[in-house]
Amino acid sequence: MVTKLLNEQMEFKIAELDGRLGYYNTLTPLYAAFHEDDKTFSLMWTEYDDSFPAFYDAYIADQQRNGRNHGILAKKNELPPPNAYTVSCIPWISFSSFAVHSYENKPYFFPSVEAGKFYEKDGSTFLPLSITCHHAATDGWHVSCFLQALQAEADSFEKYLSEWMDTQA
């Protein structure tokens, strides 16, 4: 849902290449594969597909092929694509604030999105979510539109499951 919605707003896809400002048609999620054996992480990515079943199947295939590979990059002899943005999950903790800043990676205009541990409160389930953006590319309005759309998608998540289940029948 996060990648789908980021891809719907040009402001989240802005990038600089050879001194020229532009934007990518799509973003590719760059995420961490956790290694239970030694508690380390390796970077993975799965090319985005508008079709949730196709994207999910590609993600599972990437995990099966590369998820156990240790090192900075799980996909050996490959670099992440230039349209890769960071999305991650910290399932061990809930948080009220979290920020990732990419100081060495200048200029970097893509957002970073982090989710935390689910928790229940007053009969509702909550998921902490943080989005860190470059203010030159995005403003509060863009983040607000993204978060409202994300909530709407989360409220109707069943459509993703039914779409995927239809491909399994």
The active-site residue, picked from 35, 70, 134, 135, is 135
CA 147 from chain centre, in angstroms, equals 14
Beta strands 124-126 and 129-132, pairing class: unpaired
Q: Is 101 noted as a catalytic residue in this protein?
A: no
How many angstroms separate the CA atoms of 169 and 157, rounded?
19
- Residues assigned a catalytic role: 135
